[in-house]
Amino acid sequence: MNRIFSPRSIAALTVFAAAFAPAPAHALGAAFTCSAVTYQVVGAQLKIGAVSNNALTYTNVGAAHTVSYNAGGYNTVDNFIYALEGSPANLLKVASDGTLESNAVTGVTGSTAFVAGDVSTDGQSLIAYNMTDDSVWSIDLDTFVGTEIGNLGSGDVGDFAIVTDDGSTTAYGFDTVTGNLVFFDPTANPIIVDNNSSVEIGAGGPKGAVWADSSGNLTVFVNSTGDVYSVKNPSSGSPVVKKVASGATAAGNDGMKCALAASAFPEPEESNEELAATGASTHELLLMALAGLALFAVGNALRRTRRRAS
């Protein structure tokens, strides 16, 4: 016998079925736009950093994730942020509204504590540093397979950023213990790690966020103080370091930014301190200052002469 259901019965069955149906997966939002905007995840919350009167303040991007994540980087090819969470690690793909996708990473053995990372210049891999054993990994963004590409040795870094100007592929970070600049080429396997002991930012603590810009310069966040430093020309023998902003301290944080865009932080003005860093002696600096005063005096004299003549 065919049973005929009334419209009211059909409506009730529809509501009942919907109540027990699995919830739809949360759709991933749109990609970011490559710009000077600086991103920083603090714990589980992605934030945008902004500078006003040398003060660093934040605006949240969407809701906080359920757990903290780290070792992230901005992919300049597809304009998404990629990062890692947990042990064993999951690869996160983060959208501009803070929504994300998570996929289990395979090929990575042992305990993991990924704390530093950035996306390769070809947009294919997340290069990540595992603090547990100082290993460096390349994690394929399509297959989620990790491949160990080297080891940082005795030191460790809180974050690193890959500089892309002029075709460079070098990753730069700062040693947590010494504060020295550490760098390596992630396209080499195994990587060769080097450092510049003439560049030091606050020994004795992590620099949890490092950002690169289109000029090949770096900006660095110091966890214990909240201070932000500009590092000009990190690839040179004598990079120039200057404090450009101050913000709140943050223990667990990580930085991401489109390296093809300019810096969001103010460009530090050139000073005698910077000239001294390039190798100019005190005598040379004095001569430059006297020459500047002489030119100023000559200019004033010429202006007075013109006024009398008119």
Map out the domains of the chain as residue ranges: 38-269, 280-310
pLDDT-derived band at 269 (thresholds 50, 70, 90) equals: low
According to DSSP, residue 239 is labeled -
Is residue 117 pLDDT above 90, yes or no?
A: yes
Q: Does residue 148 contact residue 89 with C-beta atoms inside 8 Å?
A: no
pLDDT at 177: 85
pTM above 0.85, yes or no: no
CATH of 38-269, one of 3.40.50.11900, 2.120.10.30, 2.30.30.700, 3.10.20.90: 2.120.10.30
Lowest mean pLDDT among 24-28, 114-118, 239-243: 24-28
Distance separating alpha carbons of residues 226 and 230, to the nearest angstrom? 13
Return the residue matching tokens 């942020």: 81
Q: What is the largest CA-CA distance in the chain?
A: 117
159, 147 Cβ separation under 8 angstroms: no
pLDDT at 294: 52
Q: What is the pLDDT of residue 220?
A: 96
Mean pLDDT of the chain: 83
Structure tokens at 138: 């390349």
**Is residue 54 scored above 80 in pLDDT?**
yes
The three-class DSSP label of residue 302 is helix
- Cα–Cα distance measured from residue 11 to residue 227, given in angstroms and rounded to the nearest whole number: 60
The highest-confidence range among 201-215, 253-267, 288-302, by mean pLDDT, is 253-267
- pLDDT for residue 298 is more than 70: no
pLDDT at 300: 55
Backbone torsions φ then ψ of 116, nearest 5 degrees: -140, 145
pLDDT at position 127 is 98
Output b/e per residue, 180-213; b: 16+ Cβ within 10 A: bbbbbbbbeeebebebbeebebbeebbbbbbbbb
- When pLDDT is averaged across residues 230-238 and rounded to a whole number, the result is 91
Query: Is the omega angle on the peptide bond into residue 186 within 30 degrees of 0, that is, cis?
Result: no
Tens of pLDDT along 166-216? 788 999 999 998 889 999 999 998 899 998 888 888 766 899 999 999 999
